[in-house]
Chain A
Amino acid sequence: MIRVTLYLLVAGFFALFLGTILPLLVRREAKPIRTVSLIATALGSAFLAGAALPVLLHATTISATPWHLLPGVDFTVVLDRLSALFLLILGVVGFADAVYSFGYVEHCGHPMRRNLLVSQMNLFLLSMGMVILAGTTVQFLFFWEMMAIASLFLVLYDFEGEGIGRAGLFYAVMSQLSTVFLFIGFILLYGETGTFALVPASPLASSEALAAFFCLLLGFSVKAGIIPFHEWLPNAHPASPSNISALMSGVMLKIPVYGLVRAVLEIFELDFTMGAVILLFGATSAILGIICAYKETDIKRLLANHSIENIGIIFSGIGLAVIFSDLGMPTLSTLSLLAALFHSFNHALFKSLLFMTAGSVVAATHTRNIEEMGGLVHRMPFTAGLFCTGAIAIAAFPPLNGFVSELMLFESFFFGLQVVDPLTKVLLIFALSLLSLTGALTAACFVKAFGVAFLAHPRSDRAEHAEETCRSMLLGPGILAGLCVATGIGSFQIFSALGYDLPLPDMLVIGTLIAATLGAVFLATTKIASQETRVAETWGCGILSQNSRMEYTEKGYSEPVISIFSSVYRADKTIDKTWLDPDQTIVAGVRAEMSLVKFFEEYLYLPVARVGLAASSLVRRFHAGTLDTYILYTFVWIAILVLGLGWFV
């Protein structure tokens, strides 16, 4: 089996490599070469998924060292159960995304760049796969950086577009920041272990190791978009093409999750405090992510903010796992860690599904603003159905997969509350409340997104004339929607097959029962109730015909939540009334305005940027530009070095 797995891995990466190279060989815009390249993507992803699945199922560990790069630095590929899970995520999402891209790429602007898009997409998948399989820190960093660069090119696909250059720059800076933290972390790790192997022989617990862990945590948090390092996410996602958004949100955000889980499980031995830090990081990201998402009208920004929220949920699960394992409760620790991992898998499925369907909608209506959509359920019925499935999954309703992972997380909280000491209880109740609020707000947010974008009257001409997308753009998300249902219904069986005995409801039984009840209710009503139906205009208080201007808007929909959480939003409401008479009885006109303060931008990013600017303007004074001053600087610096070193020695 090991041999087959290795062959599959090699074949998968080779296919992705071919997919990267081929489109670059052709200099003109050519559809056949893109088709070949996308077939390579689909095959490569399928091979990788095929390699991962048996490893995941049988919990084997495969390790191979094909090359020795330098003395002490090997090229080692390690595939164990943990990396197999993430490789499976990559394979499944990559496959569906390749299918989707057959149609989608042809909708992208700039025909000349389409070849590049396909090529970079392959490179992106390839580098992510290599990060997952990395056995040494050197490989990890190398492919991590490759992943960052490949995705940066993809974000900049439409670089002349409004705000896209800025989004790309922001993304580049943030991903470099994460690499810097990882770099420092890995150097500290090397200082502790003396090898470049990713996983040391035994978990480290010294204070230096703790510093290393903290650096890695920061690096992973930046890349995963944990608040307050999240700001790049809602900018980069709308900027990139939708098939890439699906990959970035579905797979790339999971790579730091993989890194963190690996660090938590095998590299370090962490204590309660670190667990609490991760849990709080996660819970605040979850709640602030959803609160940011709730106010968005741009469908892709909305989905991007939901990614922050979901990553927050995943981090909470990891934090809980650390807490429980420190308190000596291995079963609870396993439950919460599995919740985090299963949620990573589920999030990859439904978020990619949502990004792809959102991409279809944007391609059909040429707008990302949901207030200009509406009525699409009649014009794009299949896309609407797929989006609705994704919405039910992300809003965590049974029997789909999103519910199961959320249930597992809540159960670990519930069981934990029964056993821990009072102080930990406070922490758990706090995090549990935040996460449950997050869950419910997600449901509200997706009612808004689906309702405003797909239901009722079309809100603009563009939405009026939208048409259903092509088959490939339905099939790609369709695969993911099917998997969302299957992994939800079969969750109990999946976990027993993996050898975990979890206190989970058997969703297969419950799902069957739901289906049976639906059938029974349907039969009963057709038997007893009147079957007459009539079509009549919506009642509008006597108005003869309603139009889209009378519908409830997105702004109106989110107003109650924004008012309730106005202190979080820092919503600034001003209402100016002008009066016809001096006694202020007859209103002539009212102007209402509400603005939301961008808290993190104004209070965190901009101050840091200002300090940076001030520091650089200080430095700038020394750069006069004449040669003799530079020679003087060199002389002074060498003098300082010589004196300093002499003093040290």
Chain B
Amino acid sequence: MNSSFIAFALLNIGFVLLVSPLFMSLIKKVKAWAQGRRGPSLFQTYYNIAKLLRKETVYSPVSSWVMRVTPYVCLSMTVVAALFVPILYVPEPVAGFGNVILFLYLLGLARFFMALSGLDAGSTFGGMSSSRDMSLAAVIEPTSIVVMAALAVVAGSLNFLEIARDTAGRLFPASATMFLIGVSLFIILIVETGRIPVDNPETHLELTMVHEGMVLEQSGRNLAMMEYAGAVKQTLFIAILVSVLMPFGLVTELSVTGVLFAMALFVVKGSVVSVIVGLLESSIAKMRLFSLPNLFIIAYFFSVFTIFTEVFA
């Protein structure tokens, strides 16, 4: 663990924690515009989290330590996962940080605890969402893994940081097949962050909700942590997408101007992705739960296609 890696860790975690709520509100704003409303302020998610932190926490008498531990696990795992993704400055990978599989499984642990907490209060909503979320997670998993395999095959490494170091400074990725992976990564972004057409983050109706039902019993600071974790996770998947499709802006040498430039550029790139997600959410309806595997299959075949294209490239 050298000093440049510690700088990277502090930069990445600090920056991600800072900008994540922004992208959350931006998507809401875009959706509001598309519907002809003015929408909430861009800082609304920050306000929400601050408000929740001041509120009291309510526990069900049925709930156990699982309910109490889950928010900490979720937020910590996503924060640790932030060290696996290139956002601003990319150091030499140390001790296996940046490993794509470890990244997925760290987020998986957060999901595992979230699903358990859904069952913990004994509410039917929680159980239903937990069941749906774990089922969808199971079905998307082969896709995520094969996409990561495709990325590893194309980039010749299974470490996000190494891949980013190789491509840093380029405007576009070295291989055009990366754009095929981009399609799959975008679908994974939609699934992992629970966006339409997979899940509707706005509603609390039992027919549509997947993610929301699990946090239904959370309140106060715990809810704040869960929401923060969700926002950070979204930023991480956005970061993976943009660092694969448009690595321009990532710096491999530590300098104040370089990092400031990378920050500005990441906010712009992240905003573009958020606007696209927002527009997509406004333009299509939620899919039926059992037709979702079809969507995942599309992503799966794009990534398998990538692996085979690479043979002839």
Contact = CB atoms under 8 A, between A and B. Distances in A.
Contact of A564 (B57, B139, B148, B149): B139
B56 A538 contact: no
Contacts of B127: 451, 551-552, 556-557
A320 interface: no
Interface stretch (B173-181, B218-226, B270-278): B218-226
A552 B109 CA distance: 22
A559 B136 CA distance: 12
Interface stretch (B20-28, B111-119, B185-193): B111-119
Contact of B221 (A414, A433, A525): A525
B40 interface: no
B239 interface: no
Interface string A419-451: 000100100010011101101110110111011
Nearest to B121: A538
Given A535-B59, A535-B61, A451 B149 contact: no
A277 interface: no
B54 interface: yes
A556 B220 CA distance: 30
A540 interface: yes
Interface centre among A392, A418, A540, A550 (most CB of B within 10 A): A418
A29 interface: no
A66 to B, nearest CB: 47
A509 B95 contact: yes
A506 interface: yes
Interface stretch (B98-106, B243-251, B258-266, B279-287): B98-106
Interface residues of A, number: 80
Contacts of A546: 62, 122-123
Most A CB atoms within 10 A — which of B59, B73, B131, B140? B131
Contacts of B236: none
Interface in B68-116: 72-73, 75-77, 79-80, 83, 94-97, 99, 101-102, 105-106, 108-109, 111-112, 115-116
Given A413-B149, A432-B149, A557-B127, A552 B119 contact: yes
Contacts of B148: 414
Contacts of A417: 149, 152-153, 307
B220 A529 contact: yes
A550 B79 CA distance: 36
B137 to A, nearest CB: 6
Contacts of A429: 146, 149, 304, 307
A522 B62 CA distance: 23
Interface size class of B (residues with CB under 8 A): 35 or more
Given A436-B142, A534-B56, A561-B135, A517 B121 contact: no
Given A529-B221, A560-B132, A560-B289, A535 B124 contact: no
A2 interface: no
Contacts of B75: 521
A26 interface: no
Interface in A28-87: none
A451 B131 CA distance: 10
B135 A444 contact: yes
A556 B131 contact: yes
Contact of B149 (A414, A422, A504): A414
Contacts of B32: none
Nearest to B68: A533
B53 A510 contact: no
A528 interface: yes
A395 interface: yes
Interface in A502-534: 504-507, 509-510, 513-514, 517-518, 520-522, 525, 528-530, 532-534
A370 to B, nearest CB: 12
A444 B96 contact: no
Consensus secondary structure, chain B interface: helix
A248 interface: no
Contacts of A403: 102, 105
B101 A411 contact: yes
A514 B95 contact: no
Interface in A552-604: 552, 556-561, 563-564
A407 interface: yes
A534 B106 CA distance: 31
A546 to B, nearest CB: 6
B120 A455 contact: yes
A518 B220 contact: no
Nearest to A546: B122
Interface of B: 1, 53-66, 72-73, 75-77, 79-80, 83, 94-97, 99, 101-102, 105-106, 108-109, 111-112, 115-116, 118-124, 126-128, 130-132, 134-142, 144-146, 148-149, 152-153, 156, 158, 216-217, 220-221, 224-225, 289-290, 293, 300, 304, 307-308, 311
Interface of A: 375, 377-378, 384, 392, 395-398, 403, 407, 410-411, 413-415, 417-418, 422, 425, 429, 432-434, 436-437, 439-441, 443-444, 446-448, 450-452, 455-457, 492, 504-507, 509-510, 513-514, 517-518, 520-522, 525, 528-530, 532-540, 546, 548, 550-552, 556-561, 563-564
Given A429-B149, A444-B115, 13 more contacts: A413-B149, A432-B145, A437-B138, A444-B134, A447-B134, A448-B134, A455-B119, A456-B122, A513-B83, A529-B54, A535-B59, A537-B61, A557-B131
